Structure 1
Amino acid sequence: MFAPRYRVTTSVTMRMPTPMRLRDLIRQIRAARTAAEERAVINKECAYIRSTFREEDSVWRCRNIAKLLYIHMLG
């Protein structure tokens, strides 16, 4: 009769690149010459962290939490 139909589904998962380490974030913040540059570095990294937290199983969750704690301590 009829040949069975099989659906071929492919899931493309977009992996986020490896996040920067805490020590690299600290170096970038300390290397900023002005407060505006410092805020720009922090805002960019916070935006990246927010996007990684939207994923269910983030491999780098503990690294991102450590960075958030450091940013919180900066004030």
Structure 2
Amino acid sequence: MIKVLLFAHLQEKIGTDNIVIEKNSLTVKELRDFVSQTYEVGSLENVMVAVNEEYALEEDLVQAGDTVAFIPPVSGG
């Protein structure tokens, strides 16, 4: 089980602040693709990803028990 925390527009589109993915292991890229397709949120290319509170690269491995945060770009003023 991989817990995914959602922020900003992702939270609004999916309707919750977190989801649970019943997978044992995948790369950050595979997780992005899975969430994008499963929840129909569009491209997640510009979304920063942190695994266990550390920013992650596309090829980094996410394993069962990890907590992943999808952090969309924000603008402010």
TM-score range normalised by the length of the shorter chain: under 0.3
Task: Answer 1 or 2: which has greater strand percent.
Answer: 2
Q: Which has the higher contact order (CA 8 A, sep 6+)?
A: 2
**TM-score normalised according to structure 1 size:** 0.26
Tell me which structure has the larger Cα radius of gyration: 1
Task: Answer 1 or 2: which has greater helix percent.
Answer: 1
**TM-score normalised according to structure 2 size:** 0.25
